[in-house]
């Protein structure tokens, strides 16, 4: 199976979010690309089955729902470094509790 690196757009506003990633994707990093924040993942381009991926966007110094056991995905800078957004992998339970 040939894997490829794909990018997926992420939200900037603080909060819990869900995106679909192909099953068995491997998250690589989070970066700012041309003013947008994206998640890079290694994916099977032939996989048509999507799995939910939950993440939290956190602004520096703002309240959040991150736990010490959460996986850090990366930090991205916008507006010449005036806005710094940190990304953490979340879970379904927290997503259902706080995203409503």
**Which residues is 5 bridged to in the sheet?**
42
Question: 3-state SS of 76-90?
Answer: EEEHHHCEEEEEEEC
- Rounded CA-CA distance 32/12 in Å is 10
Q: Is the pLDDT reported for residue 100 higher than 60? A: no
pLDDT tens by residue, 32-48: 998 899 999 999 999 99
pTM for the structure as a whole: 0.86
What residue ranges do the domains of the chain occupy?
Answer: 4-98
pLDDT tens by residue, 69-86: 899 999 999 888 789 999
């Amino acid at each position: 199976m040939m894997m490829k690196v794909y990018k997926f757009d992420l939200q900037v506003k603080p909060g819990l979010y869900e995106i679909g990633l192909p099953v068995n994707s491997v998250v690589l990093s989070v970066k700012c690309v041309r003013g947008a924040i994206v998640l890079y993942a290694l994916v099977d381009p032939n996989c048509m089955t999507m799995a939910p991926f939950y993440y939290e966007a956190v602004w520096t110094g703002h309240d959040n729902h991150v736990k010490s056991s959460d996986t850090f995905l990366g930090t991205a800078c916008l507006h010449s470094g005036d806005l710094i957004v940190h990304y953490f992998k979340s879970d379904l339970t927290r997503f259902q509790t706080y995203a409503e």
